[in-house]
Structure 1
Amino acid sequence: MNNEKHILTYKDDVNLKRGDIIEPSLIEAIERSSLYVVIFSPNYATSRWCLDELVKILECTKKYGRKMIPVFYGGVTPSHVRNQEASYADAFVEHKAKFPNDEAKLENWKAALKEAADTSGFDSQVTTYVLMVFFKRVYWPESHLVKEVTKRVLEAIRPNSSPITEGLVGIESEIEAVDKLLETDPQRNRVIGFWGMPGIGKTTLANSIFQKIDPDVFEGRHYIPDFAVQLKTKTVKDLQNELFKVLLRDDNPQDIAFGHKLSRLRRLRAFVVIDDVTSASMQALEELLDWKFCNLFGPGSRMILTSTNQQVLINACQEVHQVPGLDEEKALQLFSFYAFKKDQPPDEYKERCEKVVAYCGGNPLALRVLGVAFYKKKLDLWDMKLEKLRTLHKKDIQDLLMISYNELSRDEQSAFLDIACFFNHESYDFVTRVLDEDLVTNLADKSLVGIDYSKGKIEMHVLLEDLGQDIVEAETDPQKRTRWWEVKDTLDLLAKNKVNIEFIYISFSNSNYLY
């Protein structure tokens, strides 16, 4: 059900043995979650781990104002949980014998169970019971309970003010403009393109719109991030199977005949976003969708493509929306948010901030990165930084970002280049086994690297990735260049030169250079 309604869920480790101490990773997941669904089964109270988890959940509901939805399942009633009756009574007899000198912990668990039982939730015996027919009880199937719980979850995570756009300066007006494009010809399929320079906010806008789409309106939704990047490690068939799996809600779409899949898709109202389409990836896009954009999905379907190449979108879309830079007022607000953690700068800094904003040209990425670079800096240091800005003859965003790069320590610069050349989109755990974790988090604090905790991945903006690779490629002497990642270049280098190389990282997945 969570896949059908596109709810991002975290399920604790089903392989963890009963009674094990709660894992730090689970504590972190609870801290980050916005909603909690607790299933009280007959054996729930036998696990010390589950009880500790419940205490932590209740702590977060109070600390962050979050909601918890209890579900009383398998014959368990709220009374059993509230008063530790039936199997819950037996469980606490065992806990008391196991922890005779830890009465405080036992009382803490009991208090947590009572509080949870007093919270509005679902009693499976009540929810599935329908009525008496000829003195016989009739029940809905358990799937009805799942649907009711899902409905409650959706209601809980759709607050009046959308958290999607919180802190995204200037995004609301852009969403309104795009909504008008999406609402045009509601019974016909439409493909909309988002075009603009790197860092201007195309991906942010596309993601914001995708997140706010009502899943009850579109029967299938799918988001493909970093399309051009994914093609380096995945085949078109891989991406197509992922697309069909999500839209058709089928775990094994490859087992279905292609013609049958197309037939099902043409009856489906879908919403699909494909981010970062390049001229080089256009052929793959044609293969992915059979280039039948308007006929592939059911009536009223919508697709958004993002690209820095306007011609790519003109050829593929009915309408292209240019994502503009922020105006001076919004740009100052965004820069101030990162430089001062306020909507507006202090009076004594305002003139200097306006100069920075002018150099950024309304580019949100530049404003964010430079805002972090100026954070907590005294006036005299601001003047030094502004002097560096004045030496720039071009408004090229990479030149602006170089200011932040040049102020990194040598070790931080090395880690930045490693991530840009080798580790973007890789697992956070993997990267921090190779690189010092403090260096990675330092780069994240300076907005030079992103950490997607929900996916456990390193996510560096493509503009910053290009910057790092350009820095390395500027080492024109092959014998002095320290990092290589393209297969052909690396093999040619090793064949022709004797060099001292710090790092080679090659993916052979889509390469013709296998030996």
Structure 2
Amino acid sequence: MASSSSSPKQYDAFISHRGPDVKATLAKQLYKLLQERGCRAFLDREEIEGGESITSAIENAIRSSVVQIAIFSKGYAHSSWCLEELVLMLDQQPDALFIPVFYDVQPWELRHMDNKDSQYAAEFCNHQSKARYLDKLEKWKEALKSASNISGYEQREHKYNLCEEIVSRVLEEMRRRKPLHVAKYPVGLAQQVRVFEDSLSKTVKDTVTIAGIFGLGGSGKTTLATELFNKKRSGYKGACFLFDVRVSDLRSLQSQLFKDLFHEDRKFDSIAEGIGHLEHRLGRARDLRFLIVLDDIDHRDQLDDLLPAAMLSSGNLVIITTRNQSLLAGADICHRMKKMNFDHSRTLFCSHARPDPPTSYEKLVERFVEFCGGLPLALKVLGSHVYGKGELFWELELEKVRKIQPNDIMQRLRTSFDSLDREEKQIFIDIACFFNKIEIYDLKSKAIIIWKASGWSNAEHALQILQDRCLLESVEYGRFEMHDHLRDLGRQISADELSPRRLWQPELLGPMEAKGFQQILAETNGGRCFHSFRDSSLGMSITFFIAETDLLWLEMNEDGEPFMNIPSWIPLRKLHWLYIRSVRELWSTFQQQLQTYNQATFQLTRLSIRNCYYLQKLPDLIEMFTHLEELNISNSIYSTDITSLVQSLGRLSKLRSLSLACTNLEFSEKLDLSKGNVDSSTSSRMDSLETIHPSW
């Protein structure tokens, strides 16, 4: 059997079925839906490439799948192919998830072979009477019996969403089993894993093990823990990796634990409530084994809040990374991250600086490697900083970094920071204080808009510079990521010297939250502040970004009854990004502020109105947002002819994207955007409009 750690998964799902029974119905529907959701599924022989053996191709597909689905129809046991597939699928557990689907049969029919009412019993009698497969019948019976005892799905006439339920479970399993990214150049990692596993193998089998990984920041603790997590997770019923515990909200981490281990979404009002629920569920799951990684622990209370007593039993494995060895006093294993040896250090440095340096660079490479002292982060950052440069630059850079205290990691990293221009520094500090490793939809676009609104016009270029110099590890659609030490460096610089000041500390924002959003607007005092919280006085969730004295980004979400309007005390004049959900009447606050400010001062570039069922019209006021580039309206009872609607937006010359998902929206044949206008009868021009997404 090929394990998930030794063989890459070629398929996401394998569907075992008897073609004459379900191929044209359930199997095909399920296959199509899986494909539409981005899952590579194996349905039948059509998946087999030319020249490939049918038997070996099916076996390889089963062994390589993350999820295996068996559709038990009335004729399933008639097929020796299906029964052989079933045996092989069950052999893959726990490396793959097995999902039984009972289609016009009951689970009891698979295990009661002596019952005359069972179609499966009849099929086995038929095999036996014809003296077919006699050496395999018992093995098949055992497989059917095992499958019947596994929780699955039953097709009933009222079960219209069966395929959706199955696909949702497949997607969740794929997400749970998807390997975490480890490192671009995992130099020396295999050796670290072997040392750790040697220590782990010496503990008593099947007893709970708390394994600690400690060392200097930037020494590779998280990298090692991630590799171990990917390698071992398939051997546990549930697995959860909690990143950045030191700077994260513990209630959110408790919710993530609950979701990853028990597949349930839970929100806790207090840490004590979270501990209680975890204790209760773990007490009911003592026969299950879990793998948990707590990354970057810096306080004993974090262990107590995330590791209830019930977790410390039943053969669970808990891996902890920390900079503080004293927190591992009760651990079964304590693994110190050692410095990289010279050969590994040289390989890592050259991977980032110059993979095959000429002979003339050898001495410089040696001096850089010696200076970095075996610290992976220093090797990576300094190697990237001299990438593509000549010998003279290398010489000067080496002399420059030698002036910084060699044992002070922050000062070493400060060299890369000092090479940035002012805009790049400010954007680096913003990411370090506000955006590092948080998940927000379309975060990159929102951040770039905020930075440009702050006068930093080269934001996209700055992000590329930060990535090139490894001050920013990745920039994705909804996430920025930098190393913990770089984050700490940025926050320290912000606190000590860089203006404007950033407000990100929980101890500052907590008391401000209690006062509400209106008071936060009054207390930023010329600083920059990004935060998300629920304002109890407004009864909604607020996400905002304030730069100096201007509110630039505002999201208001109400999951209950829709609220009436944006409060008049919220300043809208410099707002660039507005996302609002469940509002009855949006425009009067803008209209009121128009009486104070000239319309040209409104800077809004993105406007999204979601789930506003009671918002019935777009008034002429929309034409005042002359900087608007994107307008998205969904789930609004908006009844009009689309031609007149687009004509009313004709003054928005910068509008690039228009999305209208509204009920009762009619369409006119006059609509023609290809020429940059609405129709020949109007002079309204929307020259910048690139996309329009109406609701059909």
Coarse TM-score class (shorter-chain normalised) = 0.5 to 0.7
Q: For 1:246 and 1:204, locate their aligned partners in 2 and report how far apart those are by CA, in whole Å.
A: 20
Residues 169 and 333 in structure 1, CA contact (< 8 A), matched pair in contact too = yes
Matched residue, 1:98: none
CA drift at 1:463: 0.2
Residue of structure 1 equivalent to 2:516: none
Query: Displacement of 1:353 after TM fit?
Result: 1.3
Please tell me whether residue 458 in structure 1 is matched to residue 480 in structure 2: yes
User: In structure 2, how many angstroms separate the alpha carbons of the residues matched to 1:163 and 1:288?
Assistant: 24
Once the two structures are TM-superposed, the CA of residue 240 in structure 1 deviates from its matched residue by: 2.5
Aligned to 2:593: none
Corresponding residue of 1:169: 187
CA distance in 1, matches of 2:494, 2:178: 45
Q: Which protein has the bigger strand share?
A: 2
Distance in 2 between residues matched to 1:39 and 1:267, nearest whole Å:
28
Matched, 1:485 2:504: yes
Contact 1:222 1:246 in 2 (8 A): yes
Q: How does 1:58-77 map to 2 (within 5 A)?
A: 70-72=41-43
2:246/2:296 contact within 8 Å kept: yes
- Distance between the aligned counterparts of 2:481 and 2:301, measured in 1? 26
Q: Tell me if the contact between 2:11 and 2:42 (Cα under 8 Å) persists in the aligned partners.
A: no
The aligned amino acid for 1:267 is D
Q: Does 2:242 correspond to 1:220?
A: no
User: Equivalent of 1:285, from 303, 324, 333?
Assistant: 303
- Pick one of 394, 411, 415 that aligns with 1:399: 411
Matched, 1:441 2:429: no
Inter-partner Cα distance in structure 1 for 2:42 and 2:438: 37
Residue 224 of structure 2 corresponds to residue 205 of structure 1: yes
Native 8 Å contact 1:448 1:464 kept in 2: yes
Structure 1's 253 and 220: CA in aligned 2 closer, same or farther, altered over 3 A?
Answer: farther
* Aligned equivalent of 2:291: 271
Do the aligned residues in 2 keep the contact of 1:332 with 1:357 (CA within 8 Å)? yes
After TM superposition, give the deviation of residue 194 of structure 1 in Å.
Answer: 0.8
Whole-Å Cα distance in 2 between the matches of residues 126 and 389 of structure 1?
67
Q: Secondary structure at the match of 2:334?
A: strand
Distance 1:382 1:459 in 2: 27
Percent identity at matched positions? 27
Offset, 1:283: 1.3
8 Å CA contact retained: 2:353, 2:384: yes
Q: Which amino acid aligns with 2:470?
A: S
- Could you report, residue by residue, the CA deviation over 1:241-271 in whole angstroms, capped at 9, with x for unpaired residues? 3323322344569899666413224322222
Q: Secondary structure at the match of 1:425?
A: coil
* 8 Å CA contact retained: 2:217, 2:485: yes
Instruction: Give the match for residue 15 of structure 1.
Output: none
Q: CA deviation at 1:239?
A: 2.5
> Take 2:264 and 2:523, find their aligned partners in 1: how far apart are those partners?
52
Instruction: Select which of 486, 490, 497 maps to 1:468.
Output: 490
What amino acid maps onto 1:484 in structure 2? L
1:356-395, aligned counterparts within 5 Å?
Answer: 356-395=368-407
Cα–Cα, structure 1 residues 251 and 486, in superposed 2: closer, same or farther, change >3 Å?
A: closer
SS of 2:240's partner is strand
User: Compared with structure 1, are the counterparts of its residues 318 and 248 closer, same or farther at alpha carbon in structure 2 (3 Å cutoff)?
Assistant: same
**Pairing 1:280-359 to 2, within 5 Å after superposition:** 282-290=300-308, 292=309, 296-314=311-329, 316-342=330-356, 345-359=357-371
Contact 1:356 1:386 in 2 (8 A): yes
Query: In the alignment, residue 339 of structure 1 is paired with which amino acid?
Result: A
Secondary structure in structure 2 of the residue aligned to 1:191: strand
Instruction: Give deviations 1:295-331, integer Å, cap 9, x for gaps.
Output: 53443222111110111222x4233211111112211
Would you say the 8 A contact 2:443–2:479 is kept in 1? Answer: no
2:205 pairs with one of 186, 194, 200: 186
Q: Secondary structure at the match of 1:505?
A: strand
Gap change, CA 1:258 and 1:390, over 3 Å in 2: closer
Answer whether contact 1:224 1:274 (CA < 8 A) is retained. yes
Aligned equivalent of 1:23: none
SS of equivalent to 1:186: coil
Contact 2:352 2:383 in 1 (8 A): yes
Distance in structure 1 (CA, Å) of the matches to 2:478 and 2:9: 17
Matches within 5 A, 1:117-266: 129-131=76-78, 133-134=121-122, 167-183=185-201, 184-213=203-232, 215=234, 217-231=235-249, 234-235=250-251, 238-251=252-265, 260-266=280-286
Cα separation, partners in 2 of 1:361 and 1:510, compared to 1, 3 Å: farther
The aligned counterpart of 2:687 is none
Distance 1:247 1:380 in 2: 54
Shift of 1:439: 2.4
> 1:213 is aligned with what amino acid?
K
Q: Return the alpha-carbon distance in structure 2 between the equivalents of residues 341 and 193 of structure 1.
A: 34
| Cα distance in structure 1, aligned partners of 2:199 and 2:422 | 48
Give the Cα separation in 1 of the matches to 2:183 and 2:486.
23
Q: Distance in 2 between matches of 1:404 and 1:397?
A: 12
- Pick closer, same or farther for the CA change 1:192–1:509 going to 2, 3 Å: farther
What per-residue deviation string (whole Å, max 9, x for no partner) do you get for residues 141-170 of structure 1?
8959989x98xx99xx999xx996773111
Deviation at 1:509, TM superposition (A): 6.8
The answer to whether the 8 A contact 2:471-2:486 is kept is: yes
Contact 1:227 1:276 in 2 (8 A): yes
State the alpha-carbon separation in 2 of the partners of residues 262 and 134 from structure 1: 43
Q: Which of the pair has the greater relative contact order for Cα pairs under 8 Å at 6+ separation?
A: 1
The aligned counterpart of 1:420 is 432
Unaligned runs of 5+ in 2: 16-22, 63-68, 79-119, 127-140, 154-162, 269-273, 449-458, 513-518, 537-696
| Maintained 8 Å contact 1:268/1:298 | no
| Alignment CA distance shift 1:165-1:467 (3 Å) | closer
Q: Contact 1:270–1:297 at 8 Å: present in 2 too?
A: no
Contact 2:215/2:337 (CA < 8 Å) preserved in 1?
yes
Give the structure 2 partner of residue 96 of structure 1.
none
Distance 2:218 2:266 in 1: 37
Give the match for residue 11 of structure 1: none
- 1:182 CA drift (Å): 1.8
Take 1:244 and 1:489, find their aligned partners in 2: how far apart are those partners? 29
Aligned residue type for 2:323: T
| Aligned-pair CA distance for 1:501 | 2.8
Contact 1:71 1:124 in 2 (8 A): no
Q: 2:212 aligns to what SS in structure 1?
A: strand
Please tell me whether Structure 1 or Structure 2 has the larger radius of gyration of its CA atoms: 2
Encode CA deviations 1:397-456: one digit per residue, 9 max, x unaligned: 111111111222322222111101111123472243222334223312321112275x94
How many angstroms apart in 2 are the aligned matches of 1:498 and 1:296? 43
User: In structure 2, how many angstroms separate the alpha carbons of the residues matched to 1:503 and 1:249?
Assistant: 37
Gaps of 5+ in 1: 7-32, 58-67, 83-111
In structure 2, what is the Cα distance between the partners aligned to 1:250 and 1:426? 21
Q: How many residues align?
A: 404
Q: 2:284 aligns to what SS in structure 1? A: helix
Aligned equivalent of 2:83? none
The whole-number CA distance in structure 1 between the counterparts of 2:240 and 2:220 is 20
